[in-house]
A and B are shown apart, each in its own frame.
Chain A
């Protein structure tokens, strides 16, 4: 019975951590009465394996946590771009983020890649003092990471594979567009709102990348000051804009469309698509570069309903669900090396078992005879 008592205590901890009352938890678990939750938490009622998995999903808490293998208390400190209006939303995203990170970390652990798997370039604090310095920083980072002339097209890949930043997607509801953190166990993590449009996600990614780069300079405590936070957010926006729209490449594209110092707005939308950013982001970048001289004019264009409508219309085919590429690749690699079962793969990628064959066809699991071929290096 001692085992049940300890399980009950862990379940109570997990419930409180997820901000559920006994009554709400009982309803979600489809128990007739909340007394059942009390009985379970006091160790007076047996818990079935399926009930445990349901608790795990409800409380956004891994089975390993409920079985007592991992501490339930570990929590992520997230840096919010916009703190959700609803505290419960913020808490849910936090737990979801931790669950994602734990799964990601587990895949790395299974593959023996969990240690020192990330690297963040050092930057000089002086590079953050002025807008011009931030532009220069963005240029330098783009060069160092070989982001090329269309950085948005490869940024995610480079951040994940070259720097080892974990990039995940989650539903944020009203909870803003992205969060980031550097965690002792999980390393640097960026979580993007999956409901954002792809070109917005690129911008969010570059914005959060700035926070990761400057993590040691702008600590969480100082970010609690609204004035300070707003200033850092402006810097992050400036960095994102410079990184995704490199000066020389942008000018090269503009020169193709300018006639008598005038451009058609439709051509501006085309350029924004070409660089995979939103049209307002491009317009503000043109203001930063003093190509559009007047801020009010830039602001008016960026918020123009007609332009927004046109932008949305031409991009209607560009909307695709985000894919956590590296995470999927790690899961597939674990499966291919037979380090996880089919069922576990389905759980990691959040698909039904019936869909696994289709998923594997797409993500590359080879026939046995190809899998066992090896190359010997000299």
Chain B
């Protein structure tokens, strides 16, 4: 039987915030999550608290296949760059580009991001309905979060998605 569970593609800040607010373990165990190789290997290292930096160790989740790592290659990046105008490509970093390149290759992933950059790029890769705010993601799996910041809200995500859509319409 096919699973109907959503496949979430996690951005670096989302993983860092989950770890910071102590929900990373329960989220990874309750959902099917994927992230990019650059995010996992180079970007998610630690989060800061008043007591200092606390490291985030994803290796156990990766080794136990609780978190899947996916890599994009040069041809995926090329396809993404064909879709993104230069001014949009300039706003995001390599980890975010890899996530969007993976999304361009696959159409079964839902991006979870709290960064305006990748969210605004989504309409350019024709995945308008494949992005979700942290707020809605947590609700969908029954986790109550009292710590949500503005960037985690549905309003923030929709606002930036709409800006991306307007830019896309203007550029096409």
Contact = CB atoms under 8 A, between A and B. Distances in A.
Interface in B74-107: 74-78, 81, 86-87, 90-98, 101
B116 interface: yes
A49 B96 contact: no
Interface string A97-114: 000000000100110000
A341 B117 contact: yes
Interface residue range, chain A: 20 to 34
B51 to A, nearest CB: 14
B46 A352 contact: yes
A343 B91 CA distance: 9
A340 B117 CA distance: 6
A119 to B, nearest CB: 26
Contact of A347 (B78, B93, B150): B93
B73 interface: yes
Given A49-B74, A52-B94, A368-B150, 17 more contacts: A3-B75, A48-B73, A48-B74, A49-B38, A49-B76, A49-B94, A52-B74, A106-B90, A341-B117, A342-B117, A343-B95, A343-B115, A344-B93, A353-B16, A353-B43, A354-B47, A355-B48
A354 B93 contact: no
A161 B95 CA distance: 33
Nearest to A8: B74
Contacts of B154: none
SS of B interface (majority): helix
B141 interface: no
Contact of A343 (B37, B41, B75, B96): B96
A115 B90 CA distance: 18
A343 B150 contact: no
A341 B91 contact: yes
Contacts of B116: 338, 341
Interface on chain A toward B: helix, strand, loop, or mixed SS? helix
B78 A3 contact: yes
Contact of B73 (A49, A106, A344, A353): A49
Contacts of A338: 116, 120, 160, 163
B120 to A, nearest CB: 8
8 contacts: A46-B74, A49-B72, A52-B74, A338-B120, A340-B90, A343-B43, A352-B46, A358-B48
Interface in A28-82: 46-50, 52-53, 63, 67, 69
A303 B48 CA distance: 46
A47 B43 CA distance: 20
A69 B77 CA distance: 13
A354 B75 CA distance: 30
Interface string A341-378: 11110110000111101100000000010000000000
A4 B74 contact: yes
Contacts of B37: 48-50
A48 B78 CA distance: 12
A110 B47 CA distance: 29
B77 A53 contact: no
B94 A53 contact: yes
A49 B101 contact: yes
A265 to B, nearest CB: 43
Contacts of A346: 93
Nearest to B20: A354
Given A341-B115, A343-B115, A368-B150, A50 B90 contact: no
A64 to B, nearest CB: 9
Interface string B110-123: 00000111101000
A7 interface: yes
Contacts of B90: 106, 109-110, 340, 344
A354 B16 CA distance: 7
B74 A7 contact: yes
Nearest to B120: A338
Interface string B34-47: 00111001111111
Interface in A1-27: 3-4, 7
A307 interface: no
A67 B73 CA distance: 12
A339 interface: yes
A344 B77 contact: no
